[in-house]
Amino acid sequence: MKEITRKDEIIKTAAKLFKEKGYSAVTMRDLATAMGIKAASLYNHISSKQEILKEIIISLAEAFTQGMEQIKMSNNTCVEKLNKIVELHVSITSQNTFGMASLNNDWMHLEEQLDYYLELRLNYEENFRSILKSGIQNGEISNKNVEVMLFSMLSTLRSLYIWIPNKDAINVKKLSAQLSNVLIEGIR
């Protein structure tokens, strides 16, 4: 278990404020107030609102990238890989719903790191697409419309942060299994 630093607390509080008010509307003063410290003390830990946004979004995007790399390299079937992707999203989102809200709503406010973020996202989508294509090729997936499948699955997984906070005592394995079932097997 990583030690929780003051910087971590600042980032966590900021993510909550970004979700409530939107990134643009939050000031360093708001953040200091929410932390119960002086604005000047904030700057001992963090240089700017932009640095906080970068910490939130890039660390999440890199966690997804790493998760996807492991899934891609594994010897699982394509459908098993899709199950693992669902689990990756449920797991990361349930640990950090405010951060995921910021990732979804505020990524366009990234400055220097915007290109890097977009590269990670594009790469993630490309890996997801490849798994779907392999599944079609080897007959595991009968639907042929890669882009519609990719859009549909990603939309659901990217919206998890809206929905997960409403669920009491989230069980990652159970929710992942239920969601995989709906996404992969359909509802009929």
Site for a second copy in 62-121 (CB under 8 A): 79, 105
Q: Does 125 bind a second copy (CB under 8 A)?
A: no
Q: Is-contact 176 87, C-beta < 8 A?
A: yes
Q: Does 133 bind a second copy (CB under 8 A)?
A: no
Q: Does 122 bind a second copy (CB under 8 A)?
A: no
132 Cα distance to chain centroid: 20
By beta-carbon proximity to a second copy, the closer residue of 37 and 150 is: 150
- State the binding string over 29-68 for a second copy (x if CB under 8 A, else -): ----------------------------------------
Q: Does 181 bind a second copy (CB under 8 A)?
A: yes
Q: Does 171 bind a second copy (CB under 8 A)?
A: no
Task: Select the span of 9-17, 21-29, 38-46, 122-130 touching a second copy (CB under 8 A).
Answer: 21-29
- Report d(CA 165, CA 95) in Å as an integer: 10
Cα distances from 53 to residues 29, 65, 127, in angstroms, run 16, 18, 25
User: What angle is formed at CA 163 by the lines to CA 122 and CA 93, rounded to 5 degrees?
Assistant: 50
Q: Which residues contact 43 (CB under 8 A, 6 or more apart)?
A: 28
Task: Select the span of 6-14, 91-99, 122-130, 180-188 touching a second copy (CB under 8 A).
Answer: 180-188
- Report d(CA 153, CA 79) in Å as an integer: 13
3-state SS assignment for residue 184: helix
- Report d(CA 188, CA 179) in Å as an integer: 14
Q: Is-contact 40 81, C-beta < 8 A?
A: no
Q: Does 22 bind a second copy (CB under 8 A)?
A: yes
Task: Select the span of 5-13, 29-37, 43-51, 174-182 touching a second copy (CB under 8 A).
Answer: 174-182
Q: Which of 156, 165, 170, 172 binds a second copy (CB under 8 A)?
A: 156
- Positions that interact with a second copy (CB under 8 A): 22, 24-25, 79, 105, 132, 135, 140-143, 145, 148-149, 151-152, 155-156, 158-159, 162-163, 175, 178-179, 181-188
